Every structure is written in structure tokens, then in C-alpha cells.
Amino acid sequence: MKKVGYFNGEIGPLEEMKIPMTARSVYFGDGVYDAAMIANGVCFDLEDHLDRFYNSLRLLDIRNFDPDREQLKNELLRTAAQAEGDVLLLYWQADRGSWPRQHRYPPEDVKANLLITVTPKKLADIRLPIRLITVEDTRYLHCNVKTLNLIPNIMANQKAAEAGCDEAVFHRGNAVTEGSYSNVSILSGGKLITHPADELILPGISRKHLLELARGLGVECQEREFTLDEMFGADEVFITGSTTLVRRADTIDGRSVGGRDKELFVTLQGAYMDRVRQMTGLDIPYR
């Protein structure tokens, strides 16, 4: 199958799958998700994605999700095994179950719904720079939870697309937080600077790898707030994400940015791609 769907144990072609109208995800977006890249049949860092997923469930107090980690892993891999393609997006979400609409949780014996999709993913040419726009971050204060509620992200991303750009960078006042679907970092004076993994951003798994690799290479890393001015004046601005990988920007709001420390950027991007290659065999050009 090209695109595979899964709902509570049942697998089929994605276009033919159906979910109940009373699912809490339909009424309230009352659920959490995670998404990872599969290349050559291997999921890049599934364990970290599972950690984050179970943490999101805990933070949203979704107590009725039954599968334990091994069972969930089996369901994810069993579904992914049905899909065709060298590079796939593995997406899964759990909501608080199906029950007639009411704000309080459904009764305790109602089980959470598990939905999985596996779809082919065309990776971008990561040698090409991207264009960004800035958007005021109007999200709530639980951005570390990967909830299904992504309205500000969607609206910001649409705004970027309409401006002919690839991604929107959120900022709260003067402080840059993250992108609509990625984390944002800068290089400045040979240092890597990125927002701390607090409740204002999603703790990205690619961000985590990049920080680890940068520190291993002796690059000073600062997990701290940085300002819009710092970003516009940075040597490099780049975004990270599971299927975005690592990409530098050359314009923000139509102004030229970065391009002043390509060597360090490519070193870090290369270190990340080496790790992806070691884990999955994925080999795409970055230089």
C-alpha cells in the first residue's frame, strides 16, 4: 500500500479508513500525537519519539490509553511494514476516546483511540536555503505538549506559504521561540543558540541530536532565549525537524540573513546527516 491507515487495531488503505464522529479528536482536538521519519524501513530514533509521546499523554492526563510501550511499538511497526516507499512519515495520535460530546472526560471504561498513518515523504534538497517569515506567537503555555491543537501553527504556516516562504518563526514580543513545525536556532560568533526546552517550545528530537553533536564537536551551545534582532544579525539561522532535517535560511521577512558561517553550519548539518545515515542508511547530499 502507498498510504496506510490504522485505527484501533484495524489496518487498511488510508483513503478507505473511517473514524467515529464522536472521537474526542473530532470534537475537541482532545489528544496528542507524534511523528517520526522512516527511511529504508528503519525509524529514526523511535525511542525518543515514544518517550515524548508518553510524556504528552501524561501532561494531558490521558489515562485511558492502554497499549504499553512495546505494544504501541509493535502496532506502529506492523502498520509501517504495510507501506511502500524509501522515506515515510510515521504519524500517530491518541485521543481521549469516543463518547457523546461533553467537556469533562468520558467515563473511565472508555478507551483512548489510537490512529496511525504512514505516508510517503519527499525530502527537500537540504542544500538549498529556505525563506522564513516572523509571526507573533499567540499559542498557549503548553507548547511542550504535542497536542492535536495546532491552529496558530497552521495559520502561521499558511501565512508563510502565501508570502512564498517555507516556514514561519514564532516570537513572543522580542523573543524568538520556534517554527510552526520546526525548532529554530542561530549560530553567532561560533556558538549555537537555541530557545530552552521549556513550555514555550516543543522539545524537538532533531534539536536534541544537533545539540549533542555540536557539543561533541566542541561547539559552545547556549540554550537561552534570543531576540529577533539577534536572529536578524546572526551568522546563520536554521531550522530542524524530523523530516525537515537541518536547513539554513537566507531570508526572513524578505531581508537577507545568515550566510556568514556556512562552514560551521555545514559541519553541524553533516554531523546530523551522518547520524541519520548510520541509523537508517539514508544518504542524501548536504554539501
Which spans of this chain sit near ligand PDD (rule: CB under 6 A)?
Answer: 35, 153, 178, 181-183, 202, 204-207, 240-242
Q: What is the CA radius of gyration of the chain?
A: 19
Closest to 193 in 3D by CA, of 230, 146, 148: 230
CB of 100: closest distance to ligand PDD in angstroms? Answer: 29
Contact 173, 227 (CB under 8 A): no
Query: SS3 for 282?
Result: coil
C-alpha cell recorded at residue 234: 546572526
Select 205 or 231, whichever has its Cβ closest to ligand PDD.
205
The CB-of-155 to ligand PDD minimum distance in angstroms stands at: 13
Asked whether the CA dihedral 95, 97, 98, 103 is positive or negative, the reply is negative
> Cα separations (Å) of 3 from 19, 40, 49, 241, 284?
16, 16, 21, 22, 23
Which one, 79 or 242, has the nearer CB to ligand PDD?
A: 242
Q: Which of 213, 247, 39 is nearest to 127 (CA)?
A: 247
Question: What minimum distance in Å lies between the beta carbon of 153 and ligand PDD?
Answer: 6
- How is residue 111 annotated by DSSP? P
Whether 159 is catalytic: no
Q: Smaller CB distance to ligand PDD: residue 129 or 179? A: 179
Which is the catalytic residue, given 18, 146, 191, 262? 146
d(CA 270, CA 244): 14
Residue 119 C-beta: closest distance to ligand PDD, Å: 11
Rank residues 202 and 249 by Cβ distance to ligand PDD and give the closer one. Answer: 202
- Give the residue numbers annotated as catalytic, written as ranges: 146
